Amino acid sequence: SSRPGTLPLSSSPRSMAAFDQYLVMDFEASGVVRSSWEWEIVEFPIVVVDAASRTVLERKFHSYVRPTRNPELSQACKDNCGIAQQQVDAAPPIQEVLAAADAFVADLPPGRRAVVTCGDYDLGTAIPAEAHHKGLAVPEWLTEWVNVKVAYGEGPGRGQDRHTMKSMLAGLGLPLEGRHHCGADDAANIAKIVIWLLGQGCTLPVTCSIDKDGQWHRRTDTAWPRGFPPPEPPVEAAEAKETKRRWGKK
């Protein structure tokens, strides 16, 4: 039987991963106004996947974050994410959470690391917006990321725009555990997708980075080396649809 944190693996004898550790992150945001550039991060989780063993490390990072520009959570955030106003009122501001997350990452076992997200919002919009509005210095490890949708979507006929966390889990036959749109639970579910992809020989390279001027730079490295073709699990059309709302995605 599989150990906790493991999933059935291919017979690949060694990891083909581009990195030693994958820091799976999934922010939740306040959603007070329509523009996502004005939202503030209110939940900040990190789940660490060890690429060689394809397991989730016991050490995790999690903090709620107190919004300071718009202190009141939207009703949609409360309903969809299950976050109470009292939880963020008692939480540290993003400056302190970011410093704590940076210390957590620095204390991990040595190795090459990359952040994994389900989409480009977390490091492409959420962190840059917080840095812009609050004068934050962004650690280097938060300036590039692996969008797991890209690696998953490189399979023939899949396309990349239609995939969500739910549709990827369903396509791989993996259960969605916990509460959808709880950042900690979503990060744990995305980690399962990461482990499955690593087990099939996916390299999970960086897909995008952002420079100091806020410009995105897409990467074109293939996630599937020759000899490790990705399978094509079925994805139900209804599961694959995304709306334009924040909480309709992932």
Check if 28 is active-site: yes
Check if 140 is active-site: no
> Please, are residues 183 and 88 in contact by the beta-carbon 8 Å criterion?
no
Structure tokens at 237: 């059309």
- Catalytic residue, chosen from 58, 180, 181, 236, is 181
- Catalytic residue, chosen from 28, 40, 43, 130, is 28
> What are the Cα distances from residue 32, in Å, to 24, 246, 248?
25, 12, 16
Catalytic residues: 28, 181
